[in-house]
Structure 1
Amino acid sequence: MQDSVLNTQDKPLTIAVMGAGAVGCYFGALLARAGNRVTLIGRESHMQPIAAQGLRLQTASEDSFISMHTSTHASAVAGADVVLLCVKSTDTEASAEQIKPHLAAGTVVLCLQNGVDNDERTRSVLGERNPAAAVAVYVATGMEAPGHVRHFGRGELVIAPNPKAAEIVKTFGAAGIATTVSPDVRAELWQKLIINCSYNALSALTQQPYGWLVEQAGVNSVIADIVAECKSVAAADGLVLGASVDAAVQAIAQTMPGQLSSTARDVARGKPSEIDHLNGYVVRRGQALGIATPANRLLQVLVNMVQIGKSQ
């Protein structure tokens, strides 16, 4: 298949998406449509229909097929200027080990993942040869079927400073991806972590969307407890969070009332979730810093028990 549009950039980037799920496929599609060479790396069942007919991208305003290169092997990152690391947080180190032998010197790895420490964990594997940069991702997407990604809302990235930051911002912006560089991306990641801790487990345990959750008696008080614990841990960890955190938590249920969390989808499908890197991360940091986190601990334990029960 031919690319959907002609390249309009002087020097398109070569981009590899490691772990091409909903997030990676969505941003990869936009970048490919803008003329960049994009390779999706994922499971064969997912890559096969994309190789045959392109990735089906469905949004509120379009339903189209975007041609991209595909692979099922980590070696396909070879030659990439930028790698979008989109694997589950549970797979961060293993995926970094897989791509490490194939990365050219200076290739930047952007960690488009849930959680707040994936860039540190990636750097622990890759070292200084390949800069790993944290990214706060604000997008609602889902895989409707193999080779079919659906966009529900938003689509902004906040990235940590890195050697290719200016080029990334320009290239991604030309593809319609609002991208900013922030030296305080850690605070952005913590704010997103707090949002995920507030809703993901509750959505998973009830298999209900955000809007339904906040309409139930007592839920908003539970969310307030979760947020308070997260803030205490963040403060003890040296993070300065803005006053916008509470408003951001409330806004999710208002702007995405019908959205199920990614943890809810994982639990429903019997897949391992990222709960140990969401509420579980807050619990671990709380233990290390002497901060009690009973609400987050309860949610972590309950989700893990549900997952164990489904696997037996």
Structure 2
Amino acid sequence: MHVALVGAGAIGTILGALLAKAGNDITLVDAYSDHVDAINKNGVRLIGYLDETIPVKAVLPQDMSGQYDLIIHLTKQTVLKRSLEQCLEYMHDETVVLCLQNGIPEELAASVVGADRVMGGTVSFPATFVEPGCSELTCPAELLGINFGRLDGEITPKVTEIQKLIETAMPAHVTTNLIGKRYQKLTDNSVFSALPTALNCAIEPVLNDRFAMEVIAHLGREAGMVIKALGVTPEEAFGLNPTFENVNFDNEEQLTHVIEEFWTPIYSPYKSQIGSMLQDIRNEKLCEVDFINGKFIEKGEELGMDLPYMNKVADIIRKLQIKELPLESAWDNLALFKELKRITL
């Protein structure tokens, strides 16, 4: 298959490099010219839990050419529509677009390229963009993997073909419950990416602070409430299955149980992770909070639900993004949740 990976950030760089290493015909496409130049000159340098340099072809979006059988999309949702529109001329009738970014982008993708072309999925590994041409894997390599499928759940020959391609680089699981997988990942990002972003830290300081973990539990509970009300059955990944039964609590004893027996064991292996939203803010870019926590807030409003923790963490992240709150003292933002705790427990 002739493959393009559009949006070669931290995760896309790792995925693209490993697919290239396996001998696949893949081109990385990214708008960051220094990154593209570094890849073409020196290859992709992988550090952290991987340590190797892999030759890969990279181009700027305006330098794409020909037509691709598969376009893997990892651009931010803030630019997804425009990026998909730019890719239309490089697609033929059978081209598949595989959306692997955060949030729930499949409906937008379908509106641009047609529903039957679209597959979606989630990656199971975190990564940090270090510098042009270099990406850091921040979890053990055995956790590398992708879950993907079609919105209608059908396992077509094309799905199987793409699964085989991805499995040349890392495990690939085909789901017949893509929306359930999406809401599982959305919970992951809305909880353990969002709060560390609001506090400008990796996961470990949150795991080590009791009150921060109480906020985590409240965020998870609100996500579970929405998921249940929508009638979605989340699909488990790396131990996270955010059913309301798993994340609910009504008193301090149950809160402690949820923290110690559910959230802490799941995220301890990822303690060095820096969330993509925080990476964007540190790099003075717009992050995807409106497509992550904002998606739960949007659905909560439609359902008539009050989601004070989701709204508070999203508000903090937006203020950090426009420098209304200082990033250097962001840990102090944890105190902004204390009034919410008094209201809800």
Quote the offset at 1:217 in angstroms: 3.2
Q: Given the alignment of the two structures, is residue 127 of structure 1 paired with residue 141 of structure 2, yes or no? A: no
Q: Given the alignment of the two structures, is residue 22 of structure 1 paired with residue 13 of structure 2, yes or no? A: no
Q: Secondary structure at the match of 1:57?
A: strand
d(CA) in 2 for partners of 1:132, 1:256: 30
Quote the offset at 1:74 in angstroms: 5.1
Distance 1:222 1:113, change over 3 A: same
Distance 1:60 1:150, change over 3 A: same
d(CA) in 1 for partners of 2:212, 2:138: 25
Match of 1:93 in 2: 81
Q: AA paired with 1:179? A: A
Partners of 2:196 and 2:206 within 8 A in 1? yes
Q: 2:285 is matched with which residue: 245, 266, 271?
A: 271
Instruction: Give per-residue Cα distances to partners, 1:15-49, cap 9 Å, x unaligned.
Output: 10111111111111111111111111112111001
Structure 2 length normalisation: TM-score? 0.80
Deviates most, 212-221 or 268-277: 212-221
d(CA) in 1 for partners of 2:229, 2:210: 31
Partners of 1:187 and 1:239 within 8 A in 2? yes
Match of 2:55 in 1: 67
Partners of 2:67 and 2:89 within 8 A in 1? no
Q: Secondary structure at the match of 2:305?
A: coil
Partners of 1:85 and 1:109 within 8 A in 2? yes
d(CA) in 1 for partners of 2:87, 2:63: 6
- How does 1:72-221 map onto structure 2 within 5 Å? 72-73=60-61, 76=64, 78-115=66-103, 117-128=104-115, 131-153=117-139, 154-161=143-150, 164-175=158-169, 177-221=170-214
Quote the offset at 1:310 in angstroms: 6.3
Cα RMSD (Å) of the superposition?
2.1
Q: AA paired with 2:299? A: R
Q: 1:296 is matched with which residue: 307, 310, 335?
A: 310
Q: AA paired with 2:293? A: N
Q: AA paired with 2:11? A: V
Deviates most, 95-104 or 233-242: 233-242
Partners of 2:195 and 2:216 within 8 A in 1? no
Quote the offset at 1:231 in angstroms: 1.2
Structure 1 length normalisation: TM-score? 0.88
Q: AA paired with 1:48? A: D
Q: Given the alignment of the two structures, is residue 226 of structure 1 paired with residue 219 of structure 2, yes or no? A: yes
d(CA) in 2 for partners of 1:170, 1:29: 17
Structure 2's unaligned 5+ residue stretches are 151-155, 248-260, 327-345
Instruction: Give per-residue Cα distances to partners, 1:258-306, cap 9 Å, x unaligned.
Output: 2221112222221111111111110011111212111101111111011
Partners of 1:77 and 1:99 within 8 A in 2? no
Distance 1:77 1:287, change over 3 A: farther
Q: Secondary structure at the match of 1:180?
A: strand
Q: Secondary structure at the match of 1:309?
A: coil
Structure 1's unaligned 5+ residue stretches are 1-12
Q: Secondary structure at the match of 2:167?
A: helix
Q: AA paired with 1:159? A: F
d(CA) in 1 for partners of 2:284, 2:81: 22
Partners of 2:127 and 2:273 within 8 A in 1? no
More helix by share: 2
Distance 1:60 1:224, change over 3 A: closer
d(CA) in 2 for partners of 1:213, 1:256: 12
Partners of 1:211 and 1:258 within 8 A in 2? yes
Distance 1:283 1:75, change over 3 A: same
Instruction: Give per-residue Cα distances to partners, 1:102-156, cap 9 Å, x unaligned.
Output: 21111111111111x201110111124x611111111111221101122122221
Distance 1:237 1:18, change over 3 A: same
Match of 1:305 in 2: 319
The size of the alignment, in residue pairs, is 296
Distance 1:303 1:59, change over 3 A: closer
d(CA) in 2 for partners of 1:180, 1:112: 13
Instruction: Give per-residue Cα distances to partners, 1:138-190, cap 9 Å, x unaligned.
Output: 11112211011221222211111455211111122122x10011111211221
